[in-house]
Amino acid sequence: MMRHLMRAYPTLLRIGFAEMVAYRAEFLIWVLTTNMPLVMMGLWTAVAADGPVGRFGQREFVAYYLAILVIRILTSSWMVWELTMDIRQGALAARLLRPLHPLIVYSAEHLAAVPMRMLVISPVAIVLFVVAGPQLAIGDPVRLAILLASCAGAWALLFFTQVLIGSLALFIDSALSVFDIWLGIHSLLSGYLVPLELLPPWVSAVAHRLPFHYCLGLPVEILIGLVDTPSALRGLGLQWLYVGGFFVASNLLWRAGMRRFVAFGA
């Protein structure tokens, strides 16, 4: 099975990349609508014009929100929408007839989009390099390795979270409503809208113990040097514990949903 998977996965990646190129217009529209970090950057740099907010001056806010934009586009996933649509339209049944597990095929389709995302986001990354310069993790091999591992962890955590929520569509009609609730909490507690250290201390302390921060805030903080190496390693360990937990939970719910899906002949 593993040997078959290793042979098939590169082909799945090539197919996924070809589909992404074919639907590049939709992809570009999605990127262009991901503008909330730029809005927040404008608001906070205006606030910081009268003086730093904590350790964030205008330059630090620009670096932070550009990093948010880069990491979010590189690691985000549309799995929950694709899975719920396939369940509702019956396309999942066709996927189940293929020799590979549907979640493996989904993962290849999503990973294949990463090169296109890197290309599109490269101008923002260049501006970030100019603004943040020596603070960026790319100048230190150890920090760079931690950053890459944290980006992979953020992608995996988002993917399995959305598999978990999307699998609810096998039981209920409002799985996307559940995701909307998750997305609202994520926007605040991941650092997407506001750096966590600027929130009230008790909110920041709670946020650092929940999975939302490890979907986005952790790799951003590592990228622009807001955390030292020991703290980054501790955060990385907790992030991958969450990845393991959500992997197990999503697979358990998926299997339970599949038993129901097959039993009802959906």
Q: Where are the domains of the chain?
A: 2-263
Q: Indicate the residue type of 33.
A: T
- Determine contact, residues 222/143, Cβ cutoff 8 Å: yes
- Determine contact, residues 194/203, Cβ cutoff 8 Å: no
Model pLDDT, residue 259: 83
Model pLDDT, residue 89: 86
Residue segments in the chain with a per-residue pLDDT below the cut of 50: 263-266
Model pLDDT, residue 227: 93
Model pLDDT, residue 2: 57
Model pLDDT, residue 24: 56
Model pLDDT, residue 32: 59
Kindly give, in sequence order, each residue whose CB lies less than 8 Å from that of residue 35, ignoring residues fewer than 6 positions away: none
Model pLDDT, residue 254: 93
The model's pTM:
0.90
- The DSSP result for 67-131, as a single string, is HHHHHHHHH---HHHHHHHHHHHTHHHHHHTSSS-HHHHHHHHHHTTHHHHHHHHHHHHHHHHHH
d(CA 70, CA 34): 10
Place of tokens 């921060």: 213
Closest CA to 113 of 150, 75, 148: 75
